[in-house]
Amino acid sequence: MGKVTGFLEIERQDRKYTPAADRVRHYNEFVIPLSEETVKAQAARCMNCGIPFCHNGCPVNNQIPDWNDLVYLGDWEEASRNLHSTNNFPEFTGRVCPAPCEASCTLNLEDTPVTIKTIECAIVDKAWEHGWIKPESYRDKTGKKVAVIGSGPAGLAAAQQLARAGHSVHVFEKNARAGGLLRYGIPDFKMEKHLIDRRLAQMEAEGVTFHYGVNVGVTQDARQLIDSFDAVVLSGGSEKPRDLAIPGRDLAGIHFAMDFLPQQNRRVGKEPPQDNRPILAAQKHVVVIGGGDTGSDCIGTSVRQGALTVTQLEVMPQPPEKENKLLTWPNWPLKMRTSSSHMEGAERDFSVMTKSFSGENGEVKTLHCVKVDGQMKEVPGSEFDLKADLVLLAMGFVHPMHDGMLKSLEVKLDGRGNVEANVMNYKTSTPKVFSAGDMRRGQSLVVWAIREGRQAAHAVDEYLMGETTLPR
Ligand X SMILES: Cc1cc2nc3c(=O)[nH]c(=O)nc-3n(C[C@H](O)[C@H](O)[C@H](O)COP(=O)(O)OP(=O)(O)OC[C@H]3O[C@@H](n4cnc5c(N)ncnc54)[C@H](O)[C@@H]3O)c2cc1C
In the region spanning residues 353 to 412, those forming contacts with ligand X, defined by CB under 6 A, are 404-405
Minimum distance between the CB of residue 196 and ligand X, rounded to whole angstroms? Answer: 11
Contact region for ligand X (CB under 6 A) — 57-65, 136-144, 182-190, 246-254? 182-190
In the region spanning residues 439 to 468, those forming contacts with ligand SF4, defined by CB under 6 A, are none
65 binds, among ligand SF4, ligand X, none (CB under 5 to 8 A by kind): ligand SF4
In order of 91, 211, 235, the CA distances from 162 in angstroms are: 20, 17, 14
Q: Please, which residue, 44 or 60, has the CB nearer to ligand X? A: 60
Contact region for ligand X (CB under 6 A) — 195-203, 367-375, 381-389, 439-447? 439-447
In order of 19, 290, 307, 331, 354, the CA distances from 351 in angstroms are: 30, 11, 24, 25, 10
Contact region for ligand X (CB under 6 A) — 50-58, 178-186, 196-204, 277-285? 178-186
Q: Which of 52, 248, 330, 437 binds ligand X (CB under 6 A)?
A: 437
Minimum distance between the CB of residue 331 and ligand SF4, rounded to whole angstroms? Answer: 13
Cα 460 → chain centroid: 24
175 binds, among ligand X, ligand SF4, none (CB under 5 to 8 A by kind): ligand X
Minimum distance between the CB of residue 240 and ligand X, rounded to whole angstroms? Answer: 11
Binders of ligand X: how many residues, by CB under 6 A?
42
Torsion of CA 176, 177, 178, 183, to 10 degrees: -110
Minimum distance between the CB of residue 6 and ligand SF4, rounded to whole angstroms? Answer: 9
Contact region for ligand X (CB under 6 A) — 3-11, 21-29, 129-137, 433-441? 433-441
Positive or negative, the CA dihedral 290, 291, 296, 297 is negative
297 binds, among ligand SF4, ligand X, none (CB under 5 to 8 A by kind): ligand X
449 binds, among ligand SF4, ligand X, none (CB under 5 to 8 A by kind): ligand X
Strands 363-371 and 352-360: antiparallel
Binders of ligand SF4: how many residues, by CB under 6 A?
15
151 is an interface residue for ligand X by CB under 6 A? yes
173 is an interface residue for ligand X by CB under 6 A? yes
159 is an interface residue for ligand X by CB under 6 A? no
The conformational region for residue 55 under phi > 0 = left, psi -120 to 50 = alpha, else beta, is alpha
Q: Which of 59, 113, 166, 236 binds ligand X (CB under 6 A)?
A: 236
Q: Please, which residue, 57 or 153, has the CB nearer to ligand SF4? A: 57
Site map (CB under 6 A) of ligand SF4, residues 369-408, x = contact: ----------------------------------------
Site map (CB under 6 A) of ligand SF4, residues 100-129, x = contact: -----xxx------x-x-------------
Distance, in Å, from the CA atom of 394 to the CA atom of 256, rounded to the nearest integer, reads: 6
Q: Please, which residue, 62 or 443, has the CB nearer to ligand X? A: 443
Site map (CB under 6 A) of ligand X, residues 194-223, x = contact: --------------------xxxx------
Q: Which of 168, 301, 302, 444 binds ligand X (CB under 6 A)?
A: 444
Q: Please, which residue, 52 or 180, has the CB nearer to ligand SF4? A: 52
Residues 6 or more apart whose Cβ sits within 8 Å of residue 319:
334, 335, 336, 337
Minimum distance between the CB of residue 104 and ligand SF4, rounded to whole angstroms? Answer: 6
Minimum distance between the CB of residue 159 and ligand X, rounded to whole angstroms? Answer: 11
Strand partners, 147: 170, 232
In order of 19, 93, 155, 443, 445, the CA distances from 450 in angstroms are: 32, 9, 8, 13, 9
In the region spanning residues 38 to 97, those forming contacts with ligand SF4, defined by CB under 6 A, are 46-49, 52-54, 64-65, 68
Which residues form the interface with ligand X (CB under 6 A)? 96-97, 149-155, 172-175, 180-182, 185-186, 190, 214-217, 235-237, 258, 261, 293-294, 297, 404-405, 437-439, 443-447, 449
The site for ligand SF4 (CB under 6 A) is made up of: 46-49, 52-54, 64-65, 68, 105-107, 114, 116
